[in-house]
Structure 1
Amino acid sequence: MTHIEINGAAPAIEALYQAAVQGFGHYTSMQVRGRAVAGLDLHLKRLREASAELFPDDLAPADDTITDLIGHALRDERDASVRVTILPGMDVMVSVSAPIPDTPRPPLRVRTVRFERDLPHLKHRGTLAQTHHALGARRAGFDDVLFLSPDGLVLEGSVWNAAFWDGDRIIWPQAPMLAGITMQVLHRAFAGMDVPQTTMPISLSEKSGLKAAAATNSHFPDQAILQIDEINFPMYGHLTALLRRGWNEVPWQAI
């Protein structure tokens, strides 16, 4: 099922070579179900704003152009994983592969590393360091990594955002990080559901008052985190149920 198009056409080998060796660019990844996407407007906004920042001298493709290119690359597929990458020259590469099943996943055990991505607000192609740290955590017996700022504040996971529960409300980290689309649509859904939530700097300790933690991204909106370093979070059931409830309220936008 995997295939790639650049600017709406099957790419020549030269174009694929350039896409492979160019480290400069940005992207967004999404799950498509029934030819619809949760937070499609936010994905398009992400691409538009990142293009303006990284390619200020070029005219970014219009939102309608992006959605047309996604629809064309999907062919007859209704469910898929899609990545849209904006390359130098404003070439638009759309990669289509099999959908990621939205099935229950076991709770994560993660370790922390003090590391902040370059240009953390952008979903850019410079992923070597975060992948290196994630693989290092797995070699050490953990499932993944959670990044902390130099002063110990929670930032983000390797490819996910963290959510916490203090017994009364959901807490999202306030820090230099990528605002994940799933995190954004959940925040929007909870606002409409009157679910208590806040965004604030988060420090991890046994005395933090945090009772539960979870990881969220387009592959899994509600994966529990059982342990961060030596701190256990066994009371994750209420938080993951809230995240799932919010996810079920998210409208899917047609491509």
Structure 2
Amino acid sequence: MSSAYLDGQPATADDLRALALANYGHFTSMQVRGRAVRGLDLHLHRLKSGTRELFDTTLDDARIRAAILAALDGEGVDDASVRVTVYSRAFDHAHPERPQPVDVLVSSTPPREADPKPAWVKTCPFQRALPLVKHVGTFPLFQHRRQARRDGFDDALFVDARGRISEGSLWNIGFWDGQQVVWPQAEALRGTQERLLQAGLAEVGVAQRHLPVEARALAGLKAAFAANATGIWPISGIDETALRPDPALMERLAAALAAHRWQPLASA
């Protein structure tokens, strides 16, 4: 089951109608365990910067933390999959340039972990609009994922106009060339899990580089993996190219994530 709370109070149909009709806002998704979040600071930064970009207003950490904790209290849980959406019931599509007060909607479902099963993905040309913001315009993400699955693949992998790999439908991708992790160099939404992996790999001394990666030129890349807030999983193939999952690489990635402590939602 899912639940939704607006700034700590159960959300009503009227509260949600403004978001559904305008479809204007931004969000972040996180896994909560014991009322703590791995990479909480990254999620808070994403929400605050997105609010400045879309609404020309500020949002403080205390309000976000309180909204999440109130939603957990309302459901009587300590573990959950949480999505925090920032939008404005006062948004006027006729005057979108006006600064608007924002609302903080917290929805929760049971906790999730990434399926460790290797995924074979299909590339498709797509460039996310305003990739610096995790906005609510998710229609093309799900449509491309739907089409890929209808074509017999597990998910969709996006490439830009130059054929460079950017990101997956709901996840980031990285590669392993046997010596270093290669992060594809192209415009994409940079995920919190990706940033945690990069920091963790740096701490344990694993080499990393950002390079353009073309879907039609994967020679030299031995393995690939996907990452989002639910975890990490191997990529077993891209289009017609098979990639061999590397258990040792996945262990390194898991260790890189484990190096980050879970940050309590309640302020100290």
Q: Compute the TM-score of the two structures, normalised by the length of structure 1.
A: 0.94
Match of 1:193 in 2: 204
Aligned to 2:25: 25
The residue identity in structure 1 corresponding to 2:210 is T
1:178 matched residue in structure 2: 189
Could you tell me which of 193, 214, 221 is aligned with 2:225?
214
Counterpart in the other structure of 2:237: 227
Deviation at 1:9, TM superposition (A): 1.0
Other structure's SS at 2:48 match: helix
Q: How far 1:173 sits from its partner (Å)?
A: 1.4
- Whole-Å separation in 1 of the counterparts to 2:65 and 2:174: 30
Equivalent residue, structure 1, for 2:94: none
C-alpha contact (below 8 Å) 1:114/1:149 kept by paired residues: yes
* Change in CA separation of 1:207 and 1:111 when aligned onto 2, cut-off 3 Å: closer
Which moves more between the two structures, 135-144 or 235-244? 235-244
1:185 match: secondary structure? helix
Shift of 1:253: 0.4
The answer to whether the 8 Å contact 2:234/2:245 transfers is no
Aligned residues: 251
What's the CA shift for 1:229? 0.4
Aligned mates of 1:36, 1:50 — CA distance in 2: 22
Q: Distance in 1 between matches of 2:228 and 2:139?
A: 19
- Report the RMSD for the aligned CA atoms in angstroms: 1.4
Gaps of 5+ in 1: none
SS of the equivalent of 2:71 reads helix
Structure-2 residue corresponding to 1:73? 71
Identity fraction in percent: 40
Please give the alpha-carbon distance, in whole angstroms, between the structure 1 residues aligned to 2:131 and 2:60.
Answer: 24
* Corresponding position of 1:11: 11
| TM-score (normalizing by structure 2) | 0.90
2:180 corresponds to: 169
Give, in whole Å, the separation in 1 of the partners of 2:177 and 2:246. 11
* CA-to-aligned-CA distance 1:61-106 (integer Å, 9 cap, x gap): 211110111111111311100000000231100111110035x521
Residue aligned with 2:231, SS = coil
Contact 2:123 2:239 in 1 (8 A): yes
Matching of residue 91 in structure 1 with residue 91 in structure 2 = no
Equivalent residue number for residue 238 of structure 1: 248
> For the Cα contact (< 8 Å) 1:214–1:236, is it kept in 2?
no
Asked whether the 8 Å contact 2:25–2:136 carries over to 1, the reply is: yes
Instruction: Give how far 1:132 is off.
Output: 0.6
Return closer, same or farther for 1:90/1:169 CA change in 2, 3 Å cut-off: same
